[in-house]
Chain A
Amino acid sequence: MTSRVALKVAMRAAGNSPGAAGALGASLSGRGSLWAPVAPAMASVGAPRGQSSPSAVAVEEQVRWVNLKVVRERMKTVANIGKICKAMKLVAAAKLRGVQSLQEASRPFATGLGEFFSTMDDLEAATTAEAAKTDPSGEGKKQLIIAVTSDRGLCGGVNAVIVKEVKQMMIEDAGATPTGIMLVGDKGREPMRRVHGDNIVVSFKDVFKAPITFPQVCMIAEDVLARSYTDVVLVYNRFKSAMEQEPVRKPIVGLSTVLDSASAFDEYEFDSDMDSAQVFVDLFEFQLATQLYNALLENATSEQAARMSAMDNASRNSTDMHAKLALTANRVRQAGITTELSEIVAGAASVS
């Protein structure tokens, strides 16, 4: 309560120099600190010595008396926040190690299958050109975008970039293809609902609560397979390093494309009465599940890495803020002592 009063009074006092207070506040909140609205008020109390009008000074002095307790309280809060952020960073670092090993193990499967199917794509490119001539509208194409986000926040920008990427895809498409959006992870829900709510077909929650397993991903993949989409695009954060995560769009070669290239396997013998088309259906299902598994793991790793770096920044910011508040508190305390002394001296002088 008192902090809000102090904020309002300080803002009125800083009416002369909103620029200075704003600039100082901006520099304090440079790396995305949690306390941006408070900082300008504190800054305006301590910094501008150039306040000329006596009324402003009087108001500031009043504010100084109120503020010492508030500043000390704020220092305690900021120190607590710093401790929490440091703890979260350590937890994220531990989880990162775990998920990263899973993700590294899954990468060879994803790249291997991806390369295999990309050759299918090349074969298909030749035949699609022909097909496109006869059917230029590309009708019957239905696209599913699988947007992978995290369940929890405080992980930097990983979710925002995915939402941005999906929005960009929708803009590029400009409504040409009927598109469905599948959301894996809770954080994508609100932003997507606001803009493309009508396109969302299904959303999954609590996917990342326990370490992801392949059977779990198979359930999601079966949901995708049950819907009749011709193209599937995975949008997720690729984990490049603990510092770098980038959003990536991974198209999954559609079943029809794969089956059209089924003739590639005709040179090989299959045992029993199996034919290549049947094998391709199985392979396609497996590819979908593997790519999805890899995408979820990469996103989970990116999430932990981003959270680690975000919490690191936050704890560093809180240490900086604590130091600045300590300076302010000392200044306020000393000003109070000076005022008291001058009152005593003035009183003694008037008596003698």
Chain B
Amino acid sequence: MVQYWRAAGVSYLRYCNLTADAVRSALKEQARKKTAAKVPFSMTKSTWEAGKPVSRVQLEPAGAEALQGAK
């Protein structure tokens, strides 16, 4: 018997981050602003092959929290 998040194709990490986002969205206005300020990040992931970077992807926070942070 598999966990329901794994059955839905989501890893445990993504699942716990989504639930953390849900908890954070239940915060009152003051605290929510403080946590939303910490959310944004932007990193670049490059995949390498035979000693050369071949592709580059920009990684940004995913999920509802990101949208709230953008507001």
Contact = CB atoms under 8 A, between A and B. Distances in A.
Interface of A: 193, 197-198, 200-207, 209-216, 218-219, 221-223, 225, 272-275, 278, 281-282, 285-286, 289
Given A216-B43, A216-B61, A281-B12, 19 more contacts: A197-B51, A201-B47, A202-B46, A202-B47, A203-B45, A204-B44, A205-B45, A206-B43, A209-B41, A213-B38, A216-B41, A222-B11, A223-B45, A225-B13, A274-B3, A282-B3, A282-B12, A286-B12, A286-B16
B30 interface: no
Nearest to B50: A198
B12 A219 contact: no
A214 B17 contact: yes
Contacts of A211: 38
Interface string B9-27: 0011110110010000000
A205 B3 CA distance: 34
A281 B51 CA distance: 32
Interface of B: 1-3, 6, 11-14, 16-17, 20, 38-48, 50-53, 59, 61-63, 65
20 contacts: A193-B51, A197-B48, A197-B51, A200-B51, A202-B46, A203-B48, A205-B44, A206-B42, A210-B40, A210-B41, A210-B42, A212-B41, A215-B65, A216-B61, A222-B14, A223-B45, A274-B1, A275-B1, A278-B3, A286-B16
A202 B50 CA distance: 11
Contacts of B53: 203
A286 B1 CA distance: 20
A204 B43 contact: yes
A218 B2 CA distance: 21
Contacts of A286: 12-13, 16
B17 A218 contact: yes
A267 B71 CA distance: 49
B51 to A, nearest CB: 3
A225 B61 contact: no
Most buried by A among B12, B38, B51: B12
A272 B45 CA distance: 39
